[in-house]
Structure 1
Amino acid sequence: MLFVSRLTLERHQVWVYLVAIGLGLAAGTAWPEIGPALERLLWPTLAALLFVTFLQVPLLHVRDALRDRRFAVAVLLGNFVVLPLLAWALVKAFDFDPVMRLGVLLVLLVPCTDWFITFSQLGKGDVPRAIAITPLNLVLQLVLLPLYLWLMADAQSLGSWNWATLAPAFLIVLVPLASAVMAERGIETHPKGERLREAMAWWPVPLLALVVFLIAGAQVGTVLDSLGELQTMLPVFVLFLLAAALLAKGIAAQLRLPAEQGRTLAFSMGTRNSFVVLPLALMLPVGWEIAAVVIVVQSLVELLGMVAYVWVLPRHLFR
Structure 2
Amino acid sequence: MLTSTRSTNMPGLPGVALTSLLIVGAIALGACLGHAVPSGGQWLGDQLDYTLLALIGLLFFGVRFGALLQAVGNLRFLLVALVTNFTVIPLIGYGVASLFLSDRPLLMVGLVIYFMSPCTDWFLGFTRLAGGNVALGATLMPLNMILQLLLYPLYLALFTQQTVQVEAGVMGDTLLHWFLLPFVIAVALHQVVRKALNKARFEQVLALADVIVPWVIALLVLQIFAGNIAVIMEHRVEFAWVLLAVFTFFVATFLIGEGISRLFRLPFPDHALLTMTIAARNAPLMLAVTMAVLPDQPLIYAALVIGMLVEFPHLTVLRRVLLALRQRNAGLPSAARGPSST
TM superposition score normalised by structure 1 = 0.88
Partner of 1:33: 39
Partner of 2:80: 74
Give the whole-Å Cα distance in 2 for the aligned partners of 1:229 and 1:166.
Answer: 32
Deviation at 1:156, TM superposition (A): 4.1
Partner of 1:52: 58
Give the whole-Å Cα distance in 1 for the aligned partners of 2:176 and 2:325.
Answer: 41
- Measured against aligned partners, the alpha-carbon deviations of 1:158-179 in whole angstroms (never above 9, x if no partner) come to 26x6963884465333333222
Instruction: Report the secondary structure of 2:120's partner residue.
Output: coil
Alpha carbons 2:32, 2:226 under 8 Å: kept = yes
Change (3 A) 1:36 1:202: same
Partner of 2:304: 295
Alpha carbons 2:153, 2:171 under 8 Å: kept = no
For the pair shown, the structure with the greater C-alpha radius of gyration is 2
- Give the number of equivalent residue pairs: 313
Instruction: Report the secondary structure of 2:165's partner residue.
Output: helix
Change (3 A) 1:281 1:201: closer
Segment drifting more, 20-29 vs 292-301: 20-29
Q: Read off the aligned partner of 1:93 and give its amino acid letter.
A: L
Give the whole-Å Cα distance in 2 for the aligned partners of 1:41 and 1:169.
Answer: 19
- Measured against aligned partners, the alpha-carbon deviations of 1:132-173 in whole angstroms (never above 9, x if no partner) come to 1110111111112222222222124226x6963884465333
The answer for unaligned runs of 5 or more in structure 2 is: 1-9, 330-342
Alpha carbons 1:123, 1:311 under 8 Å: kept = yes
Match of 2:277 among 259, 268, 272: 268
Alpha carbons 1:52, 1:204 under 8 Å: kept = yes
Alpha carbons 2:89, 2:116 under 8 Å: kept = yes
Could you tell me the percent identity over the aligned residues? Answer: 26
Instruction: Report the secondary structure of 2:80's partner residue.
Output: helix
The answer for unaligned runs of 5 or more in structure 1 is: none
Give the whole-Å Cα distance in 2 for the aligned partners of 1:7 and 1:89.
Answer: 30
- Aligned-residue Cα RMSD (Å) equals 2.5
Match of 1:109 among 116, 120, 124: 116
Change (3 A) 1:236 1:37: same
Partner of 1:249: 258
Give the whole-Å Cα distance in 2 for the aligned partners of 1:74 and 1:59.
Answer: 20
Match of 2:184 among 169, 178, 185: 178
Partner of 2:336: none
- Measured against aligned partners, the alpha-carbon deviations of 1:198-218 in whole angstroms (never above 9, x if no partner) come to 322221122222221222222
Give the whole-Å Cα distance in 2 for the aligned partners of 1:304 and 1:96.
Answer: 28
Partner of 2:16: 11
Alpha carbons 1:166, 1:280 under 8 Å: kept = no
Partner of 2:239: 230
Segment drifting more, 99-108 vs 53-62: 53-62
Q: Read off the aligned partner of 1:226 and give its amino acid letter.
A: H
Alpha carbons 2:110, 2:300 under 8 Å: kept = yes
Segment drifting more, 42-51 vs 297-306: 42-51
Change (3 A) 1:251 1:110: same
TM superposition score normalised by structure 2 = 0.83
Alpha carbons 1:6, 1:202 under 8 Å: kept = no
Instruction: Report the secondary structure of 1:177's partner residue.
Output: helix
Deviation at 1:243, TM superposition (A): 0.9
Alpha carbons 1:170, 1:280 under 8 Å: kept = no
Q: Read off the aligned partner of 1:76 and give its amino acid letter.
A: L
Alpha carbons 2:119, 2:280 under 8 Å: kept = yes
Instruction: Report the secondary structure of 1:105's partner residue.
Output: helix
Please give the residue correspondences for 1:277-296 in structure 2 after superposition, counting only pairs within 5 Å.
Answer: 277-283=286-292, 284=294, 286=296, 288-296=297-305
Partner of 1:200: 209
